[in-house]
């Protein structure tokens, strides 16, 4: 087989490990004038231009001026059917679901509508530099077919699943324990492990599933290796009280999922804003992950995520936008709000920790760090080119910056889709801004 090599030259930055574990300096690698070499859709090498260029005779080298190449961003929690209802006014979680979310998700019964929205959604992710996401569909299996068909056409690494919801929701949006199980199984058989696609068993949250449905969700996870489990946990105080009323025999919210064998490696819980120490401990010891969703937690008034506490317990944490409760597809904007959430708790969010959360940390939360998250050779060539001159203000601010940390921090605060010059998936350009 003839191998196909390509190279990209710019400043290059990627995470090597969690700064909370190894310290800031050992957590990243940076090449001021770097080259990223891609071979057959995978990372071949990364290094200094002076070292690598002489080895690349005959290889096409694309050069970017005033640009920074980083791994593609990873969004560990987002709802594609909620694209059209982002920025819906005035409600907190439970009223927001009833007022806006359920009527919007009803339309995904129509596969053609689902396909339209899936296309808009994926385009928006790529415009924002996100190359992998863990995605909620709607309760309709055809919504997940439409999503995976669109993701497959772009050869993206995506994880998604059909919502399981058999109570406390409108009739038009509920399944049954048996139909939810059977339809999930059908989707798993069709999509899990196909190309770069993975399936997530997706109970919406404890209040909208009966014990029978949660039980069958647990059974499904036991029947296939490497499936994901994706749900919500401890987002809002009223929600938590409701779970206690619905499951009085359980110790708490996480214990409901624990009881039905829905926790462990590749289980991802969105939010976790109000977790106790015991719950954090349990998440850590089972290898479960939490998706920190800053723009959503602020928009719905859910509360302030305690990253330091989850870090202290050693819980895997990824970053999520949670669109449509989140207000931006941009992980740079998520990091902007994450920084402020930390400030309100008297804590700091280091820019290299931010980089880690948006890339390698997300990959580790998803147990995909052997495939994505940084530029180790053999990983998928999913990367973004950030533009130091994206806006007049970013350009001017970065000219004042005296260090890489200062530049990175300013990009996280001021950047959004405008800062994403180009996005690559498996070595192929899938978004070009200009």
Task: Say whether residue 11 binds ligand GUN (CB under 6 A).
Answer: no
Any bridge partners for residue 42, and if so which?
39, 380
- Please identify the residue of the shown chain whose CB is closest to the bound Zn ion: 322
In 99-192, which ranges are E strands?
130-136, 157-161, 163-164
Please, which residue, 12 or 163, has the CB nearer to Zn ion?
163
Do residues 297 and 346 lie in contact, with contact meaning Cβ atoms separated by under 8 Å?
no
Choosing from 258, 322, 337, 416, the residue that interacts with Zn ion (CB under 5 A) is 322
Do residues 27 and 356 lie in contact, with contact meaning Cβ atoms separated by under 8 Å?
yes
Q: What is the DSSP letter of 345?
A: T
Task: Say whether residue 83 binds ligand GUN (CB under 6 A).
Answer: no
Partner from Zn ion, ligand GUN, none contacting 101, C-beta within 5 to 8 A by type? ligand GUN
Task: Say whether residue 183 binds Zn ion (CB under 5 A).
Answer: no
Part of the chain binding Zn ion (CB under 5 A), chosen from 4-12, 54-62, 314-322, 394-402? 314-322
Partner from Zn ion, ligand GUN, none contacting 145, C-beta within 5 to 8 A by type? none
Q: Minimum CB separation from Zn ion for residue 337, in Å? A: 15
Task: Name, in order, each residue with C-beta under 8 angstroms of 25's C-beta and a sequence gap of 6 or more.
Answer: none
Measured CA to CA, the distance from residue 242 to residue 80 in angstroms comes to 26
Task: Say whether residue 274 binds ligand GUN (CB under 6 A).
Answer: no
> If we measure between CA atoms, which residue out of 344, 233, 217 comes closest to residue 279?
233
Measured CA to CA, the distance from residue 72 to residue 14 in angstroms comes to 10
Measured CA to CA, the distance from residue 348 to residue 264 in angstroms comes to 29
Choosing from 31, 80, 147, 205, the residue that interacts with ligand GUN (CB under 6 A) is 205
Part of the chain binding ligand GUN (CB under 6 A), chosen from 19-27, 93-101, 177-185, 364-372? 93-101
Q: Which ranges in 139-252 belong to alpha helices (H)?
A: 141-153, 177-191, 211-223, 237-246
Measured CA to CA, the distance from residue 12 to residue 29 in angstroms comes to 8
Q: Minimum CB separation from ligand GUN for residue 202, in Å? A: 10
Please, which residue, 95 or 189, has the CB nearer to Zn ion?
95
Task: Say whether residue 101 binds ligand GUN (CB under 6 A).
Answer: yes
Do residues 383 and 376 lie in contact, with contact meaning Cβ atoms separated by under 8 Å?
no
Q: In the range 232-271, which residues lie near Zn ion by CB under 5 A? A: 270
Q: In the range 287-326, which residues lie near ligand GUN by CB under 6 A? A: 296, 322, 325
Partner from ligand GUN, Zn ion, none contacting 140, C-beta within 5 to 8 A by type? none
Do residues 357 and 317 lie in contact, with contact meaning Cβ atoms separated by under 8 Å?
yes
Positions touching ligand GUN (CB under 6 A) are 79, 93, 97, 101, 204-205, 232, 235, 296, 322, 325
Interface with Zn ion (CB under 5 A)? 270, 322
């Amino acid at each position: 087989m003839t191998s196909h090599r390509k190279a990209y030259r710019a400043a290059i930055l990627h995470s090597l490990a969690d700064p909370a574990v190894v310290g800031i300096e050992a957590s990243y690698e940076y090449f001021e004038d770097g080259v990223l070499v891609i071979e057959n859709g995978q990372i071949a090498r990364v290094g200094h231009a002076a070292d690598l260029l002489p080895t690349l005779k005959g290889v096409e080298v694309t050069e970017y001026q005033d640009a920074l190449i980083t791994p593609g961003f990873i969004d560990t929690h987002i709802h594609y059917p909620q694209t059209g209802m982002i920025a819906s006014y005035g409600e907190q979680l439970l009223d927001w679901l009833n007022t806006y979310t359920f009527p919007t998700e009803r339309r995904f019964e129509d596969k053609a509508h689902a396909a339209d929205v899936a296309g808009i959604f994926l385009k928006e992710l790529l415009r924002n530099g996100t190359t992998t996401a863990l995605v909620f569909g709607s309760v309709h299996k055809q919504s997940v077919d439409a999503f995976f068909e669109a993701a497959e056409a772009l050869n993206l690494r995506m994880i998604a699943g059909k919502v399981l919801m058999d109570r406390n929701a409108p009739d038009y949006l509920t399944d049954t324990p048996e139909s939810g199980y059977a339809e999930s199984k059908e989707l798993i058989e069709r999509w899990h492990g196909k190309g770069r696609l993975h399936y997530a068993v997706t109970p919406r949250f404890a209040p909208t599933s009966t014990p029978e449905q949660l039980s069958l969700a647990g059974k499904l996870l036991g029947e296939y290796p490497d499936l994901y489990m994706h749900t919500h946990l401890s987002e809002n105080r009223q929600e938590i009280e409701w779970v206690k009323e619905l499951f009085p025999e359980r110790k708490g919210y996480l214990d409901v999922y624990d009881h039905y064998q829905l926790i462990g490696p590749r289980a991802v819980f969105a939010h976790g804003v109000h977790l106790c120490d015991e719950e954090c401990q349990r998440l850590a010891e089972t290898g479960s992950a939490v998706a920190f969703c800053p723009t959503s937690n602020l928009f719905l008034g859910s509360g302030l995520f305690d990253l330091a506490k989850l870090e202290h317990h050693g819980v895997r944490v990824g970053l999520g936008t949670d669109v449509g409760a989140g207000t931006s597809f941009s992980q740079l904007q998520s990091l902007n709000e994450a920084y402020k959430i930390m400030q309100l708790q008297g804590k700091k969010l280091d820019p290299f920790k931010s980089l880690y959360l948006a890339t390698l940390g997300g990959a580790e939360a998803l147990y995909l760090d052997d495939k994505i998250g940084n530029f180790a050779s053999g990983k998928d060539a999913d990367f973004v080119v950030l533009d130091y001159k994206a806006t007049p203000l970013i350009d001017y601010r970065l000219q004042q910056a005296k260090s890489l940390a200062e530049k990175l921090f300013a990009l996280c605060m001021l950047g959004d889709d405008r800062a994403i010059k180009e996005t690559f998936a498996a070595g192929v350009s899938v978004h070009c801004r200009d």
